[in-house]
Structures are given as structure tokens and as C-alpha cells.
Amino acid sequence: MESAASAPDSGMAAAPAPAPATDSKPFRPDEVRIILESLQQPAVFLNMVSDWPALRWTIEHLSQVLHGKELTFRMGKRKTNKAPQFETHCDYIQATLQEFLVWLHGETSSSPGPFGPFPRSQYWAYADYKYIAVTFEDNAELFQDVIWSDFGFPGRDGRESTLWIGSEAANTPCHLDSYGCNLVFQVQGRKRWHLFPPEDTSFLYPTRIPYEESSVFSSVNIVNPDLERFPRFSRVRPYVVTLSAGEVLFVPRHWWHYVESLDPVTISINSWIELGEDDEARVGEALTRTVVCALKSTDHSTDTASWLNATEDAVTSYESNLRYVNLALQACLGKAKTSPPGSREGRGQWTHASPAQPKKRKGDPGAGGQRDLAEPRDANDANVCFGPNLVPVRQEEAAASAEVIVSGDHPADSSLEANQQNLHCQPNPASGDGTPMSTDELINCLVHPDVIHLMTEILLDRHRTH
């Protein structure tokens, strides 16, 4: 589905100047907050950011603001083979936005600059996951250009946001975020989002290799899947939307997503919103880090760069990881003790403290990929008034039909074979009968989202009784 309120963006054309602030927005901040607390599926907000100064953050404008400042660009190949292109498979360069613009205009053939080895016909570039608080530390006044208070989060602005600048075909591997939910503001160009509900986790073959704190990746190239190797992927229920400039996408907790840039240049700003359930999730993520680092540190057959994502500083020691587990455990239990009975800071509810922090990575105790299926996914959506200014992201019709056909094929017994299928550990394509499993295969079983969820519950239960 493509939201129809915005005309297709040319990608490199300047965005329209923001309109003067008015009271004509379709929803008040308190109304948006209620909507977000009720939504159980992705949805697009329209006509909510027309007065945001950040609408002026086109590539030309940012190149002037950040004049001479180098950013890290991830360089990926324009290819369509059946393996996902993880960050560990990409090259990285340091370049300015001016150099990026030169490359976009095809003027690098005579320049030995950082983009020189990467012909635009063969590569895409992505300056992804840039903390605005760091990127614009010398231009702090720009933090106010992002006004998340319009969505019911007073005081939240660019300091709690991240910036993404990409060329056509730039993409983020299919993954779920372990913490919170996500608001995404499209500034320039268009991006296509492929989303999958948490219930589809086993069909997406979750993996923690490459390892990145707070992200669970899919082993499947979702735009060109290898159904012989990953047959259960045929059961997924994709929700697809093309996000255009001036639109804001809401991604609920633990929804999988693959994002691809459609125009010559795309710019977006997002903010992760913490939930009360994240306290427990951080325990699971700390457990995951402990297991992954312990096993991979003893596997001398691979180098660190092949399994540790570029977003991570280094492999942390067992002692450090155990400390993370204890800190996350104490924080979770302490939060439970101080929260009054019936508090909305319980499982799955919003954190009502100060503005939430950005998605945490690089060593902070974090979340595993656990799923809370106690409440049906669409239970609260009946309370949401969809209309011209709030558009639900719809499930693709073809995928829906395919799902109905195979829906009766779920394992029904509690046998070992059925449970193994449910966990769906990543198969080892190189091994046959009698061949020892790989370290990665073992890791993907030990830190499968369902296993980590169970481990977290057992650990919390043991400490609650002491």
C-alpha cells in the first residue's frame, strides 16, 4: 500500500517550506498519544508536520549546515541474490555530504575522493543511524526543528532522534528492534517499508549473527527469499507501505521491518519510544550478549568483523557481560517494586517518566527478541478512528491469501520435532548428516527469541522469590 496524501518526491528536489504554525492539525498531542497507545499495527500520520522546521532538512540544506563534517557511510552492492546484505558484508567510508552530492550527480569519475572506488551504478550509500545530538553538536539550535511534542511527548525533540541519509537502493536488513516502538518522519524522498507482525517471528528465521545489541535480524532476504532453505517464510504476512515526504510512520513494538530507499536521495528522522516492558527486555538482551560473546570468543575459525556489527565498539568480556546482566536484573526488579499496583508502567505500557532515550546499543543492557502474544495483535485497533489523516498499513492481499492456504499446517503436537520446528533454529547449509554443527547454528538456537524470553522469566522469577 502507498499512502496517497503526498505526491511522489523526485528525491533530490527541495521539500516545500513549512507552513506557519496553526491549530489546524488533525490531532491534538493528547489525542495522538491515545491513538499510539491503542494501535496494534503500523499506521501513517498525515498532515501532522507541516510546520516542522526539519522539513527544510533537504540534502542541500544539510550539506551547508554540516559543511566539512565527515560522516560514516555504509556502502552496499546493488545485487539481488538470495542472501541478506548485512552490515558486516558492506564497506565503510568517511565522507562529507558535499562529497556525497558529487557522487550522486555522477561526478566522481575524475575524483579520487572516498566514493571513487564505488561506482553509483554498482553501489548504494547510507549514512544511517546518526544521533542528531552528536551530529549537530555544534548546531544545538537545530534540535528544536524536530517537534515530537506534537505526538504527545512533551519536550522530546532532535536530541532523542536519529538521522538517516541514503541513496537509491540503500536498505536496512530485515530486523526487529528489541526495545520500545518507533516513530519515523520522512523528510525527503520515498522509502518502502516491508513490515511483519511479531507473530511471524518463527517464519523469519531470527538470528543474532551478526550481533548487534538491541536488534534481531532475519536470515531471509525478504525481497528475494530462498524458499528451499527457508520454506516457512512463505507463511509470513507482509504489510507494505511507501512513506513519502511529510508523513510519519508508527511502528509498534517488535514488528519486523525491512526498509529500502526508492529515490536518488532519501532523508528520514526517527525516534524510539521506550515502553515499561523494556526493563525486562534489557535483561534478555544482556543474557544474549553474554552467550554470543562467550561462544564467539572461543571460535577462532572466524574473525570478529565477520560476526560483530559495525555498530558495536568491541567484544565485551565475560565479566563485563555478567555485570550487565546483574545491572539489568536489579533495575528491572527495582522498577517492579517502586511501581504501584495497576501502574501503566507494567508490561506493554508506556513509560511516563521523562522523555525516552534513543534506542540503546553498544554495551547498554538491552532487550532480547521476546514476543508477548498474550493480547491479540488487533485487539485495540477497533478504538482507533482511521481516516484521511491516519492511514493503517495494510497487509498485502497476495500474502494474505497464501497465509490462509498454509494456516492449517502448524505443528499441533508437543513432540521434540514439533518444538524444534517452532523454535526454528537457523539451518546450517554446509552441514549434512553427521557433520558437527557450526558455532553460529548453536548460537541461533541458544539465543532464539523464545529461548531468551523463557530464560529471562526464569531468572526474574528466581530473584523475585529471594
Residue 372: pLDDT above 80?
no
Average pLDDT of the residues in 362-380: 37
- pLDDT, one tens digit per residue, over 210-238 is 999 999 999 999 999 999 999 999 999 99
Query: Average pLDDT of 337-366?
Result: 45
Nearest to 424 by CA among 223, 218, 175: 218
The pLDDT tens digits of the residues spanning 160-177 come to: 999 999 999 999 999 999
DSSP 8-state assignment for residue 233? G
Report the pLDDT averaged over residues 294-299.
92
**404 Cα distance to chain centroid:** 28
pTM above 0.85, yes or no: no
Interval 180-204 mean pLDDT: 97
Lowest-confidence pick of 12-26, 229-243, 246-260? 12-26
CB 307 within 8 A of CB 296: yes
pLDDT at 309: 87
As a residue count, the chain comes to 466
Handedness of CA 320, 326, 332, 334 (dihedral sign): negative
Long-range (24+ apart) CB contacts under 8 A made by 310-318 are 310/74, 310/87, 310/88, 310/90, 310/92, 311/87, 311/129, 311/212, 311/213, 311/361, 311/362, 312/211, 312/212, 312/213, 312/361, 312/362, 313/362, 313/363, 316/289, 316/363, 317/293, 318/290, 318/293, 318/294
Judge whether residue 360 has pLDDT over 90. no
> What is the structure's pLDDT at 310?
84
Selected residue with higher pLDDT from 17 and 330: 330
- In CATH, what number does 29-273 get? 2.60.120.650
Domain extent listing, the chain: 29-273, 278-377+414-464
pLDDT digit string, tens, across residues 394-443? 998 644 333 333 333 433 333 344 444 555 565 555 455 567 789 999 99
Estimate the share of the chain in helix, then strand, then coil, as percent rounded to the nearest 5: 35, 20, 45
Q: How far apart are CA 315 and CA 223, in angstroms?
A: 31
